[in-house]
A and B are shown apart, each in its own frame.
Chain A
Amino acid sequence: MTAAVHREESFIGKWIFSRDHKVIGLQYMFTSLVFLLIGFSLILLIRWQLAYPGRPIPFIGDLLPDSLAPGGIMMPDFYNSLGAMHGTIMIFLGIVPLGVGAFGNYFLPLQIGAKDMAFPTLNMSSYWVYFVGGVLMLSSFVLPGGAARAGWTSYVPLSVISSGQTTWLLAMTFLITSSLLGAINFIVTTLNLRAPGLTWSRLPLFAWAQFVTGLILLFAFPVLQAGAVLQLLDRVAQTSFYMPQGLIISGELSQRGGGGNALLWQHLFWFLAHPEVYVLLLPPMGIVAEILANGTRKPIFGYKEVAGSFCFIAVLSFMVWAHHMFVSGLKTSLSYLFMTTTMTISIPSIAILTCFLLSLKDASIRFTVPMLFSLAFLPMFGIGGLTGLPLGFTPTDVYLHDTYYVIGHFHYVVVTGTLIALFGGIYYWFPKMFGRSMNMFWGKVHFWGTIVLMNLIFFPMFIQGLAGVQRRLYDPTVQLHNLTVQPTNVLMSYASWGLLLFQVPFIVNFFWSIFKGARSEENPWQATTLEWACPSPPLPHVNFEKVPTVHRGPYEYSVPGREADFWPQNEEN
């Protein structure tokens, strides 16, 4: 076995087609960060159009082809493409691959004391399938037909009749396959490869989150796959799964057989896409739990409640999907049911947040950069969660549905919640991944700039939503009820461009620190979980010098009677 470890590997075998979970994790991390930047850039163009509708885009406008932006002025179709691709890229190519693909791949095996994932080859293919899907998705901007323009939700019949959608569906097929391969790996790895002594009640919350996420992906994604195949057939083979009788499209009577149901897609889509929200959310919650325990120097309050809530959320997340369809013509009786389940799912989320907040009591808080990000997660995710209430509650959803209130809600959850926690995770685990730490001054600059500007972008969305501004409007000023609040768009746009500027310290810090950062020891944060028991970076293919044995729970900080205020899981006494 040791012979295999020290086998000389070529550059390609080591860095490109690697089967080592750590290299694959890094590949996921770099790729997803690039996609996050791309997805973010798309919305910056949109923000120009929203702030100054119909004015030529400065600088970049001249670079765009006339078919998209003649004279630098964005066309409505291009606007819709940007919106659809922003959503798709951020969710399927950015956040999920970063939270699950990168952090999960790198740290799940380390936290459970495994040498690697259960299926290393499958792991490698999962990354490459994702990569191909991502490149295909992105290249749709230059392929014939252009990029998808029917929203990231791709509601039929619009998606069936608009161009660019075929590429979107094919790319999604790759992304779904990649996620499924990953999910199988995560589940089997957690079930089978835990170090001796690592029982379920000693499993770190990050590992719990990744395991539960794997289960959600496994059960939710195939249903979208089915829906996507049906949509593809409707597009390329002229079937009518989603196309009702007697459609008149642009004045032409449709020649299709008809008989399909336009709401069927919404059911299939949201059956995936609501659980997907928790795929976006659980891994960051796991990261926050790790960092909070470390930064407060005490055990996480209510470890069992948090782990239990993860599982409860996973189950419930499959029973709430139709709350996206309250105004679609869903039967009233069904909307009572989904309103009740939706309100119920807020209970475990609040339980988790309560546990995290109570963890601050009696603590000894260190305001490190990762800790700042984790602390910011709590109120920000709080806003995101709370603003979900009026959307899950039918009498108020009827007004707020499809307005900017919805956009504000999920950006608070996914950006100021999830993404902030993921940033924290990067600062926290950077020393483990590269053996050097990031610069903390620039980390603080990045943190404060990011958190302030994000709030300036997303909070006005609630004001717009309450005023009735609909989402996905190319030019909001065409409708009278949007005019009063239009100045907020200018504020939000400047904030978004400022947010780009404040990512520069992060990007520079990240790359500079990989090569020039201060050397870091094995356990710089004096943490307890197993990933800190191996060298930084961990040994290729085996991680640990010898397989660790686990003696206690994951967050034994400040145990009375011990000199050090942390007691690693693998230390005998």
Chain B
Amino acid sequence: MNPAQSNYGWGLPVAASTYADKIDRSLLILHAAMAAIFVLWAVYMAYCLVRYRKENSPKAVYSHKSTLASYTPDVLIFIFEVWLIFIVGVPIWAHIREELPAPEDATVIRVVAEQFAWLAHYPGPDGKFGRMAPSLVDYANPLGLDPQDPDAGDDVASVNEIRVPLGRPVLVTLTARDVIHSFFVPEFRTKQDAVPGMENSIWFEPVMAGRFEIGCAQLCGLGHYRMRGDIFVLPEDEYAAWMAGEQAGRRP
């Protein structure tokens, strides 16, 4: 069995990012409320169906009065939703979408999606992304990095494998080069479309080391189903060793 498969089961996958718990709690609140509402409806309906069937209630009661009580569910739901949106929802959404970590405190990665692969681009020790040109893309240089650009010299590229260190937020800038894809890591509870012509930034901070799956969540063509990758969350020292190895491999 693949080691990562222990992350998944019936129900939600392992919660492996700092905000995954917040999202799980929202899911729980909502489903509890939904279940409560549904049970109330169902019990009431079942009662009516038995109590007011023709055999038990030969004549219906004529009434055009709509009592104020009928608005109670609407009002309760309304109050619940106001609470849900403004007290629960907005702060979480602001946290996961707007409070992006500063690049100097985070592991910064560019992810370029294409049919049907995830290309990761690391700026390297200098912290600067090298220039890319569409015309330079080929098998050996999947990102199309410009070798003339001094910033590109220490850049690291990888396909379908992303390595990040544990203990720091990861800032991902997403784009696509052909059609829309969607970057989905179930364990991190994060999802963001990679749209050609746009750069969408997201962040997450892993809370455990391990291997996590990247799936594509937006239909992107005949290979949509097999467009998958892995995120390896490594302890800080292993990550540094890997990055150093990449650098060493580059300059023999």
Q: Indicate yes or no for A touching B, C-beta below 8 A.
A: yes
Interface residues of A (CB under 8 A from B): 75-77, 80, 149-151, 155-158, 161-162, 244-251, 253, 258, 260-263, 296-299, 301-305, 327-329, 332, 335-336, 339-340, 343-344, 346-347, 350-351, 353-355, 357-358, 360-367, 375, 378-379, 382-383, 386-387, 389-390, 393-396, 398-399, 401-403, 463, 466-468, 470-476, 478-481, 483-485, 557-560, 565
- Say whether A346 contacts B193, CB under 8 Å: no
B224 contacts A395, C-beta separation under 8 Å:
no
Q: Let me know if B96 and A395 touch, CB within 8 A.
A: yes
In which size bucket is the chain B interface?
A: 35 or more
State which of A156, A258, A365 has its C-beta within 8 Å of the C-beta of B54.
A365
Which one of A258, A332, A466, A480 contacts B93 once the chains associate, using CB atoms below 8 Å?
A332
B residues at A contact (CB < 8 Å): 2, 4-5, 7-13, 22-23, 26-27, 30-31, 33-34, 37-38, 41-42, 44-45, 48-49, 52-54, 57-64, 66, 70-71, 73-74, 77-78, 81, 84-85, 88-90, 92-94, 96-98, 114-115, 134-135, 137-138, 177-180, 182, 184, 186, 189-193, 195-198, 200, 213, 215-226, 228
- Known contacts A261-B197, A396-B26; A335 and B93 CB within 8 A of each other: yes
Contacts of B52 in A (CB 8 A): 296, 360-365
**Shortest distance from the beta carbon of B95 to any chain A beta carbon, whole Å:** 9
- Tell me the smallest distance from the CB of B125 to a CB of chain A, in Å: 28
Report the Cα distance A304→B223, complex, angstroms: 51
- CB neighbours (8 Å) of A344 from chain B are 81
A354/B10 contact (C-beta < 8 A), A262-B195, A343-B81, A399-B27 known: no
| A357 adjacent to B44 (CB under 8 Å) | yes
CB of A241, distance to nearest CB on chain B (Å): 12
> Is A80 a contact partner of B219 (Cβ separation < 8 A)?
yes
Q: Which of A247, A379, A557 contacts B45 (CB 8 A)?
A: A379
A361 contacts B38, C-beta separation under 8 Å: no
Given contacts A248-B137, A347-B77, contact A466 B223 (CB under 8 A): no
Query: Cβ of B74: which chain A residues have Cβ within 8 Å of it?
Result: 347, 350-351, 354
The residue that B49 contacts in the complex, of A151, A340, A365, A399, with Cβ under 8 A, is A365
Residue of B nearest to A477 (CB): B225
Within 8 Å by CB of A565, from B59, B192, B200, B223, lies: B59
Q: Which residues of B contact A303 (CB under 8 A)?
A: 64
Alpha-carbon separation in the docked complex, A463 to B13 (Å)? 12
- Cα separation A350 to B5 with both chains bound (whole Å): 40
Closest chain B CB from A527 CB (angstroms): 14
B213 engages A480 (CB within 8 Å): yes
- Closest B residue to A403 by beta carbon equals B217
Cα-based distance from A296 to B59 in the complex (angstroms): 10
CB distance from A276 to the nearest CB of B (A): 19
Q: Are B23 and A399 in contact (CB under 8 A)?
A: yes
B221 touches A263 (CB 8 A): no
A473 contacts B225, C-beta separation under 8 Å: yes
Once the chains are docked, how many angstroms separate the CA of A473 from the CA of B115?
14
A80 and B220 in contact, given A157-B179, A565-B60 (Cβ under 8 angstroms): no
Q: Which residue of B lies closest to A332 (CB)?
A: B97
Known: A251-B137, A358-B70, A390-B27. A395 touches B213 (CB 8 A): no
A565 and B60 alpha carbons, distance in the complex (Å): 9
The distance from the CB of B66 to the nearest CB of chain A, in whole angstroms, is 4
Residues of A within 8 A of B200 (CB): 329
Nearest-CB distance from A228 to chain B (Å)? 18
Docked-complex contact A77 and B222, CB < 8 angstroms:
yes
**Could you say which residues of chain A place their CB within 8 Å of the CB of B2?**
480
How far apart are the CA atoms of A358 and B184 in the complex, in Å? 43
